[in-house]
Structure 1
């Protein structure tokens, strides 16, 4: 899994590619923590390049979302496709966390 990001207005967009599993999930959580320490508490995770997510990935997402919320921020998602979208829907994460079809929709919210 690889995470790259850019600041876009009030949001930090984190592009996640590859596989988020037991071996890589901590990297996502660490990246979100690093962004939070840098003052970026509103993160949009673009998962359009993510091929697979496991339960370990979901745990990392939940932990990162809780930390950002406690800091007055939030973690939203966009670009879910295929198995990643299916896992988000089946697990209930699509109802628990803000999920948008496109990056533009995620960035348009206030």
Structure 2
């Protein structure tokens, strides 16, 4: 798993490439918590290169959402590939998260 990060105004955009599985989700969680502790409260997760998400990865999404909610922040998702979109549909993540088909849409949300 690779994480690419950059800022667009006050929004942190994270591009995740590869697999977010039981092993890599711990590193991913630590990185996201570090960003939040450093004041990042508007986060877009660009999933265009994300190939797989395990239950551990889903858990991290909810943990981070709760941390951000406590700080009046938010995490949103963009650019899901068909496999990740199918997973999000199965676990009904659209009930709890905002999901955008394009990164520009997600940026405009903030």
TM-score (ref. length: structure 2): 0.95
Aligned to 2:72: 72
Aligned to 1:23: 23
**TM-superposition CA deviations, 1:19-65 (whole Å, max 9, x none):** 00101112222121111111111100001000011111101111111
Q: How does 1:29-48 map to 2 (within 5 A)?
A: 29-48=29-48
TM-score (ref. length: structure 1): 0.95
4+ residue runs of structure 1 moved beyond 6 angstroms?
none
Q: Please, which runs of 5 or more residues in structure 2 have no aligned partner?
A: none
Q: Please, which runs of 5 or more residues in structure 1 have no aligned partner?
A: none
- Aligned pairs, how many? 110
The CA distance in 1 between the partners of 2:28 and 2:85, in whole Å, is: 18
